[in-house]
């Protein structure tokens, strides 16, 4: 295969060409209430060519290698038609490598019927809880091998296994509807999907309890976020702002995201990196063949770096960070996060809560939106804080604000870092891409909380 790909890359007038091949095997199960809506296995094979000529890109995807040389020529022709300037593409050392998939309990060694039996048990637990009206379950696993060959001499075969499980319990009473979910993910360990019966019972119980919970009075509160919600906050509200394609293409964002600018206290460190091992966003090489890194986006409260592909790094005069990722062979790689998190501090949750006369403890996540530096997030679960203690449950709250003001108001960071692997990132139609995000507990002063 290596000889065949390199042969197809030779003899073209282009500044850079890459061929990427995907070979995947997956299984999926989905439930809506008591109904099993989807169950099955799929297999897919395909590839793509991306060519750079005078700053213009050509991109061709295909499902057969029969016309590989013609597809390379077509991508080069496309790039030549749009290219009108000097190509800017940061050099990286060519590499030849083979990276095996990491796993503890391979999901492909577990039968589809065994997976269904486990999910049936979870579904019965939720549906058997009084006032649970319906449920939603989605499970997927994929084993993928990606082969990359470039005109610079790189040839990488990289395999990975990814799993994801999402469960939701929806409670209803007298026209009132409340929902609680559980999201689990793993890089190649099916055992993380097993023995969740206690957590499944708990989400059903909490969904029912929300039917009787009061709504908080809207206003500015001191808010403590749990590691899951804090991780989603740092991913959505700050991580996307750190993706260099957004910054390069947006003059307003370039004025905001100036390296060296202070955005928080010296206790604040925000990291992204696929070189952090063991998580869903971890890999050895990105989809341009750049070695994975660990990048400090904020270091001791100061904007230290941003996330780059080889093109954005060259255009902004910075170094590639290994963040060029593609969902599959039908898309070109774009700048994406990997494992994004706030590094732990030295404060316990107990100390963080002490001194708060009246505040809000927000957990988990339900949804949200961002627009440049403004964000709105819905917590999945919330409690009042009274006299330094977590008190009564309240309806899920909505948190709104300016991300930079919020980071500046982040005055305490816990010592209990936890990574959430149950989500997936979406950008430019490429979704869901496996990522992880996390944080310790964090405390934010003067956070706007929506309620009555």
Domain ranges of the chain: 2-210, 219-450
Q: What is the pTM of this model?
A: 0.94
More confident residue, 368 or 111: 111
204, 129 Cβ separation under 8 angstroms = yes
Burial (CB count within 10 angstroms: exposed 0-12, middle 13-18, buried 19+), residue 227:
buried
pLDDT in tens, 195-242: 999 999 999 999 999 999 999 999 999 999 999 999 999 999 999 999
Give the pair of three-digit tokens for residue 398.
């909505």
Q: Is the pLDDT of residue 372 over 90?
A: no
pLDDT of residue 451: 76
- Rounded to the nearest 5°, which phi and psi values hold at 22? -120, 135
Please compute the mean of the pLDDT values over residues 60-86 and round it to a whole number.
Answer: 97
Task: Encode 331-343: b = buried (16+ Cβ within 10 Å), e = exposed.
Answer: bbbbbbbbbbbbb
Please compute the mean of the pLDDT values over residues 303-325 and round it to a whole number.
Answer: 97
163, 43 Cβ separation under 8 angstroms = no
Class of domain 2-210 as given by CATH? alpha beta
pLDDT in tens, 236-271: 999 999 999 999 999 999 999 999 999 999 999 999
Q: Is 12 helix (H, G, I), strand (E, B) or coil?
A: coil
pLDDT of residue 23: 98
CA-CA distance, 70 to 87, in Å (whole number)? 23
Q: Give me the half-sphere count of Cα atoms (radius 13 Å) on the Cβ side of residue 16.
A: 23
Strand partners, 262: 302
Please compute the mean of the pLDDT values over residues 280-308 and round it to a whole number.
Answer: 98
Give Cβ neighbours of residue 54 (< 8 Å, ≥ 6 apart).
15, 79, 80, 83, 84, 85, 86, 87
Radius of gyration of the chain (CA): 24
pLDDT in tens, 140-182: 999 999 999 999 999 999 999 999 999 999 999 999 999 999 9
pLDDT of residue 377: 87
């Amino acid at each position: 295969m290596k000889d065949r790909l390199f042969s197809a890359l030779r003899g073209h007038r282009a500044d850079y060409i890459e061929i990427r091949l995907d070979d995947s095997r997956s299984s999926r199960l989905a439930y809506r209430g008591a109904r099993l809506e989807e169950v099955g296995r799929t297999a897919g094979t395909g590839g793509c060519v991306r060519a750079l000529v005078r700053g213009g890109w050509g991109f061709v995807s295909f499902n057969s290698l029969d016309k590989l040389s013609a597809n390379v020529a077509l991508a080069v022709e496309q790039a030549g038609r749009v290219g009108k300037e000097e190509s800017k593409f940061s050099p990286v050392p060519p590499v030849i490598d083979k990276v095996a998939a990491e796993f503890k309990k391979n999901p492909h060694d577990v039968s589809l019927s065994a997976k269904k039996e486990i999910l049936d048990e979870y579904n019965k637990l939720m549906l058997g809880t009084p006032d649970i009206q319906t449920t939603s379950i989605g499970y997927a696993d994929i084993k993928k091998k990606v082969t990359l060959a470039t005109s610079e001499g790189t040839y990488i075969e990289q395999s990975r296994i990814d799993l994801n499980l999402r469960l939701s319990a929806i409670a209803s009473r007298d026209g009132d509807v409340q929902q609680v979910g559980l999201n689990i993910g793993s890089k190649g360990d099916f055992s993380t999907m097993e023995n969740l019966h206690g957590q499944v019972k708990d989400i059903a119980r909490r969904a029912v309890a929300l039917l009787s919970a009061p709504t908080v009075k809207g206003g500015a509160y001191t808010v403590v976020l749990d590691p899951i919600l804090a991780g989603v906050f740092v991913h959505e509200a700050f991580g996307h702002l750190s993706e260099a394609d957004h910054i390069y293409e947006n003059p307003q964002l370039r004025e905001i995201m100036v390296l060296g600018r202070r955005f928080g206290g010296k206790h604040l460190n925000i990291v992204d990196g696929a070189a952090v091992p063991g998580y869903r966003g971890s890999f050895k090489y990105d989809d341009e063949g750049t070695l994975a890194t660990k990048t400090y986006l904020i270091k001791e409260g100061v904007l230290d770096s941003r996330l780059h592909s080889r093109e954005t790094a060259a255009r902004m005069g910075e170094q590639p960070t290994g963040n060029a990722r593609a969902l599959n062979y039908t898309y070109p790689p774009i700048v994406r996060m990997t494992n994004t998190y706030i590094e732990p501090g030295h404060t316990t949750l107990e100390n963080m809560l002490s001194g708060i006369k009246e505040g809000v403890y927000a957990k988990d996540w339900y949804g949200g939106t961002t627009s440049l530096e403004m964000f709105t997030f819905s917590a999945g679960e919330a409690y009042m804080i009274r006299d330094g203690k977590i008190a009564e449950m309240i309806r899920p709250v909505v948190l709104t604000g300016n991300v930079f003001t919020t980071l500046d108001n982040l005055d305490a960071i816990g010592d209990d870092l936890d990574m959430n692997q149950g989500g997936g990132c979406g950008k430019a139609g490429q979704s869901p891409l496996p990522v992880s995000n996390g944080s310790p507990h964090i405390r934010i002063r003067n956070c706007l909380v929506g309620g009555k």
